[in-house]
Amino acid sequence: MYDQVRQVDTEIADILEAELGRQRNQLEMIASENFTSRAVMETMGSTLTNKYAEGYPKKRYYGGCVHVDEAEMLAKRRAMALFGAERANVQPHSGSTANMTAYLAFLKPGDKILGLSLSHGGHLTHGHPVNFSGLLFDALHYEVSPDTETIDYDKLRTQALAERPKMLVGGASAYPRFWDYEKLRSIADEIDAILMFDMAHIAGLVAGGVHPSPVPFCDVVTSTTHKTLRGPRGGLVLSRKDKFKAINKMNFPGIQGGPLMHVVAAKAVCFQECMQGDFKLYAKSMVDNAKALGDALMERGFHLVSGGTDNHLLLVNVAGKGLTGKAMEELLEHVGITCNKNTVPFDKESPFVTSGVRLGTPALTTRGMGVEEMGRIAHIIDSAVQNQENQDKLDALRAEAEDLCQSFPLYPGMA
């Protein structure tokens, strides 16, 4: 493996090998990460990376696009079929550019948008002041209720009626519950706003039929393709027919130049994989695993934001265990679990410290782990918290995590 790279660059070859080792030997619980198939990876590493293809299929600004046209048309057709969408643009380089495309297709700088606050589970691109979305637009935020830690739709409606944003944005990076799309739609209709939903985190669950789809309710739906969807790193915009022209025009030439055709083709492969029966089982298993892990953690006295999960992620408030999110992330890294610190609603700590960690099941489920393994992981997490000062015990827990990894090999055959 990496022979060609090694001949040119031993330093990068060493890094590639080390990263493969890390991915194999740690329990990957970052909720936004996954392990793509070899087919997706092979497509990303293909000759399509050499091709310029500004424009859209059959309407390119470069010659020689016959094959990449076929790849992009396949990706579009499959995305539309997978999500029951009228139209799909598969060119966004990332979730962020997909969101930028959706905003700028319908809004002018200075227009009002209303999205979920970052500290309540939303994403930077939903109007945070340091992000283009907050810099370009007059961004307002809704929050979760302090009692239920779920979205307070009545309050959101009141805020929307008072502020009358031009776009209402749904979707999140750290929200473990179902969304009420019907309510979002009716609020958007009351103020004549565009309804956009960013399903980056839950796209694989929607594709697998275990999470309701935002597509029938929204004017525009954006996504990444590399989280629960398990494809290459990239973005996607789905829309109704009447909104599509504006979206296409904004993605290219508005925001991007040449599309990454190796990634576009890899998205087609990903969508093909998502349409197979076993992807449905995978999607169900992600949710079953998250619920099992959540139950096992709650039994051990951990507080889960909103009291549980409906999807692939858990937001664990560790303040009650006397830890910050930062300390918990470091502790778990120590015992072979990779995750990220995360603010919890109404967090008293700074975003660099936080009171929570976000745990996700997409990657471990891809390895084949199930509810039994989630029980073992809950035990490792709990024991780590209880034995923070006991190095021998922490080493033993790390060995347990590695043992678990070895029982569920990742990329077998990849040298």
- Tokens at 382, concatenated: 């709990």
Closest CA to 358 of 306, 284, 280: 306
The interface mask with ligand PLP, positions 17-36, x = CB under 6 A, is ---------------x----
Note if 233 is an active site residue.
yes
Closest CA to 238 of 209, 216, 261: 216
Note if 147 is an active site residue.
no
Note if 278 is an active site residue.
no
Note if 249 is an active site residue.
no
Note if 103 is an active site residue.
no
Task: Kindly report the number of other CB atoms within 10 A of residue 62's CB atom.
Answer: 12
- The Cα–Cα gap between 343 and 352 comes to 9
Segment contacting ligand PLP by CB under 6 A, of 5-13, 89-97, 105-113, 322-330: 89-97
For residue 173, the minimal CB distance to ligand PLP (Å) is 3
- The Cα–Cα gap between 208 and 211 comes to 8
For residue 206, the minimal CB distance to ligand PLP (Å) is 13
Positive or negative, the CA dihedral 28, 34, 39, 43 is negative
- The Cα–Cα gap between 260 and 251 comes to 13
Q: Is position 201 an interface residue for ligand PLP (rule: CB under 6 A)? A: yes
- The Cα–Cα gap between 42 and 30 comes to 24
**Can you give the C-alpha Rg of the chain in angstroms?**
22
In the list 94, 228, 306, 340, the residue contacting ligand PLP (rule: CB under 6 A) is 94
Q: Is position 96 an interface residue for ligand PLP (rule: CB under 6 A)? A: yes
Subset of 99-118 contacting ligand PLP (CB under 6 A):
99
Catalytic residue among 2, 52, 163, 376: 52
Catalytic residue among 233, 300, 326, 376: 233
Q: Is position 200 an interface residue for ligand PLP (rule: CB under 6 A)? A: yes
Q: Coil, helix or strand for 58? A: coil
In the bound complex, which residue of the shown chain has the CB atom lying closest to ligand PLP?
95
Catalytic residue among 97, 125, 224, 365: 224
Closest CA to 64 of 83, 50, 80: 50
Q: Is position 95 an interface residue for ligand PLP (rule: CB under 6 A)? A: yes
Q: Which residues are catalytic?
A: 52, 54, 198, 224, 227, 233
List of residues contacting ligand PLP (CB under 6 A):
32, 94-96, 99, 123, 125, 171-173, 198, 200-201, 224, 235
